[in-house]
Every structure is written in structure tokens, then in C-alpha cells.
């Protein structure tokens, strides 16, 4: 299957993996939109939040808690960060493997566009 994030999860591409465990993998966005721009993905290929279901509740919880871990690793826990998950066409989701963007390291523009 041609999924770039599955390849990163499987260690088949170059890329800086910040953390990986049983459920999730976190790595730097190739085109950062902030000084810290990390993507957190499930190891399992799921298209988006729409593919989550109650039987995935542990994975869903781990995805959210991994945000805190990434923020700590990046040193932005105190300064703050923004968490975004694009889902589907209207959001312009480009990679069809669920991912959480964690953005921080500098003050961001006010509001959501």
C-alpha cells in the first residue's frame, strides 16, 4: 500500500521519529508551519477520525495523551501549542492516514481560519 505515513511508521523512510510505542508514532512534518511542527499518527492505518470507533478507545486516548509527550519533548508545554486534525475534503486533509498536528514554538496568528 502506498501510504507515506505507514512507511514512516514501519521505519522504511528517512525521518526523525520523536517517539513510538505500541499505538502511535510521532515525527516532524516535512514542511513545518511553526518552529515545532510534529505529526502524531496511529501505527495502524486509519484514514481519519471518521475511522475511529469505540473498540479503538485505547488508541484514541493514547493519540491525545501523546500530544502532551510531544509538547514536553519539544519544550513547548509551558509556552503552548495548537492541535489540529484535518478530516476529509472540506478540511483539505492531504494525507489519508489519521494524524494530529502539534504546532508551537512561537506565538501563532489569532483565531482559526
List contacts with ligand 5GP (CB under 6 A). 4, 15, 27-31, 86, 92-95
CB of 108 to ligand 5GP, least distance (A): 15
Phi and psi based region of residue 81 (left: phi greater than 0; alpha: psi -120 to 50; beta: remaining): beta
Q: 4 touches which of ligand 5GP, Zn ion, none (CB within 5 to 8 A by kind)? A: ligand 5GP
Q: Which residues contact 5 (CB under 8 A, 6 or more apart)?
A: 39, 41, 45, 95, 97, 99
Of the two residues 46 and 76, which places its CB atom closer to Zn ion in the complex?
46
Q: Between 4 and 19, name the residue whose CB sits nearer to ligand 5GP.
A: 4
Amino acid at each position: 500500500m502506498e501510504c507515506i505515513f505507514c512507511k514512516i511508521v514501519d521505519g522504511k523512510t528517512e525521518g526523525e521519529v520523536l517517539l513510538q510505542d505500541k499505538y502511535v508514532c510521532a515525527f516532524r512534518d516535512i514542511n513545518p508551519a511553526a518552529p515545532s511542527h510534529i505529526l502524531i499518527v496511529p501505527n495502524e492505518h486509519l484514514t481519519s477520525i471518521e475511522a475511529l470507533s469505540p473498540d479503538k478507545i485505547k488508541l484514541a486516548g493514547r493519540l491525545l495523551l501523546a500530544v502532551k509527550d510531544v509538547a514536553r519533548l519539544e519544550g513547548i508545554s509551558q509556552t503552548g501549542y495548537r492541535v489540529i486534525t484535518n478530516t476529509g475534503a472540506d478540511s483539505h486533509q492531504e494525507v489519508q492516514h489519521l494524524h494530529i498536528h502539534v504546532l508551537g514554538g512561537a506565538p501563532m496568528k489569532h483565531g482559526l481560519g
